[in-house]
Amino acid sequence: MKVLLFGATGMVGRGVLRECLQATDVESICAVGRSALAVQSPRLRQILHADLFNLQCLEAQLADFDACFFCLGVSSSGMKEADYERVTYQLTLGVAEALSRVAPGMTFIYVSGAGTDSTEKGRVMWARVKGRTENALLRLPLKSFLFRPGFIAPMDGIESRTPLYRITYKLLAPIQPLLQWALPSLVLSTREIGQSMLAVARHGYQKPVLEIKDIRATLRG
């Protein structure tokens, strides 16, 4: 399996990259982003590209992949809707539309969020924008799967790039294993998300939107 990865420098993306590198059936990983990764592997190739809103010059390099894991995202905290929509909707759709042109039928896995508003009409800004993004992805000629995790527990030395989240995770670190055990319907780890994405890329899933319980179901085979 050949994997294309966007957002490999973020918390979720780093977890996904780690699982890809550990999976024996992943032949190669191509990480596309603005910043270089510290991780090195014979199976890992990096494409550094400053403007992810314009992938026209890269399209020929994006065709020969079985799956794309799209882990790019920002916190909506303090953001105006137009700014959040630009990163969450416009950037995601720009990448997905490019892939649908060069590799129609590719498996495209998008990290959304629990509570996403599929009606696009609710009061919560981020949920509306995520819902609009999900709906638009499902209209493209890709095999799209939309992951809706809730609280994500970082593992394997991975940290969030968002300062507030990083502080929160550090405060919760002593009880993180307890939270994962006591609240399996709310808490997923970066390791579990990465393993689930790989499982869905291999075998698909019975529906396109995966809530937390569905993500866990993929881990049970």
Fold of 2-219: Rossmann fold (3.40.50)
User: For residue 72, how many other CB atoms are within 10 A of its CB?
Assistant: 22
* pLDDT, tens only, 86-102: 999 999 999 999 999 99
Would the pTM count as exceeding 0.85?
A: yes
Task: Name the residue with tokens 């390099």.
Answer: 61
User: For residue 106, how many other CB atoms are within 10 A of its CB?
Assistant: 22
Per-residue model confidence (pLDDT) at position 187: 80
* pLDDT, tens only, 100-118: 999 999 999 999 999 999 9
| C-alpha torsion sign, points 192, 194, 197, 201 | negative
Residue 141 is given by DSSP the state S
CB 104 within 8 A of CB 66: no
Q: What pLDDT tens digit does each residue of the chain (221 aa) get?
A: 999 999 999 999 999 999 999 999 999 999 999 999 989 999 999 999 999 999 999 999 999 999 999 999 888 888 999 999 999 999 999 999 999 999 999 999 999 999 999 999 999 999 999 999 999 999 999 999 999 998 888 876 776 565 555 555 565 556 556 655 555 667 899 999 999 999 999 999 999 999 999 999 999 86
Residue extents of the structural domains in the chain: 2-219
Task: Name the residue with tokens 């509570």.
Answer: 115
